[in-house]
Amino acid sequence: MILPLKDGGQLYYETHGESGEWLLFLNGIMMSTPSWATFIPYLKPHYRLLLVDFRDQGKSSSLEGSYSCQKHVPDLLQLLDHLHVPKIHMMGVSYGGQVALEFMRTAPSRVKTLMLVTVIPEVTNFLRAWGDAWDEAAALNDGEKFFQIAIPPIYSESFYEEKRDWLMERQKMFKSLLTPRWFEGFVRLSRSAKDFDCTDVLSRIDVPTLVVCAEKDILTPAPRMKDMARQIPGSTLLEIPDAGHAAFLEKPLAFLTAILGFLQLHSG
């Protein structure tokens, strides 16, 4: 479905499930709504799922010029108002977690619970350097080469050993699906996070919060996420073993167990 935005843009979203409390998925930077397809059948019997593509992502409209990831917050608020959702369970992965933290700065009263998956509260020099490398890879306008350069740090070494055939299929898919428009949007999204810093928000978070880190994540390392969890009052920390930054794809059962267990404690 398409939501016309007040500034003339368009936001693509999907809903799944007929009853229960609302659960919002916020995508990582290279993701779009289909990225959650595997999880929908397990979650929609219990919750009403809200999937959304940020602008410059998936089927949503493009943005122009430079912006920060806070730019997405008014879009999400307009979407919640459109659906008459006063409070929502909010789960963000990586870039989506950054947007979730910016949302907590702006509209914390609209969030019932917060789930932060493989995200840290500020961009480190190391992460910024990888962002620069991804921008250079995107400038090639070649999905296969982009995959070869950008994807290795996202998964763990063991996943590369065990799932090489799956990864090679993904590489072929990138070559056929990634268009010049996709690359242009990706670069804008990537640059929108270069100066991200929500460290000042952490101590003010007053909703039940789950922090999910991954043992082998080099982009948003587990020690930094554990430090973030300590700064969020009353937060729950879970570490997924032997997984990298894309832990929710590497270990989907562990991810689902963590999300469902946390939500069951804080629903109703």
Cβ 15 vs Cβ 49: under 8 Å = yes
Secondary structure class of 24 (helix, strand, coil): strand
pLDDT at residue 192, rounded to an integer = 98
Whole-model pTM: value is 0.97
Q: Residue 34: pLDDT above 90? A: yes
The residue-averaged pLDDT of 39-49 equals 96
Note every long-range contact of 226-231, with CB atoms under 8 Å and residues 24 or more positions apart, other chains counting.
228/116, 228/120, 228/121, 228/202, 231/121, 231/199, 231/202, 231/203
**String of b and e for 142-161 (b: at least 16 CB within 10 Å)?**
bbeebbebbbebbbbeebee
Confidence of residue 203 (pLDDT cuts 50, 70, 90): very high
The residue-averaged pLDDT of 243-260 equals 97
The residue-averaged pLDDT of 50-60 equals 98
User: Beta partners for 122?
Assistant: 197
pLDDT at residue 262, rounded to an integer = 98
The residue-averaged pLDDT of 172-192 equals 95
Average pLDDT of the chain is 97
The residue-averaged pLDDT of 150-175 equals 94
The residue-averaged pLDDT of 161-170 equals 94
pLDDT in tens, 113-150: 999 999 999 999 999 999 999 999 999 999 999 999 99
Over pLDDT 70: what percentage of the chain? 100
Confidence of residue 268 (pLDDT cuts 50, 70, 90): confident
pLDDT in tens, 90-100: 999 999 999 99
pLDDT in tens, 101-121: 999 999 999 999 999 999 999
CB-count burial class (<10 Å; 0-12, 13-18, 19+) for 204:
exposed
CATH (one of 3.40.50.720, 3.30.70.260, 3.40.50.11780, 3.40.50.1820) for 2-124+195-266:
3.40.50.1820
Over pLDDT 90: what percentage of the chain? 98
Q: Residue 48: pLDDT above 90? A: yes
**String of b and e for 174-196 (b: at least 16 CB within 10 Å)?**
beeebeeebbebbbbbbbbbeeb
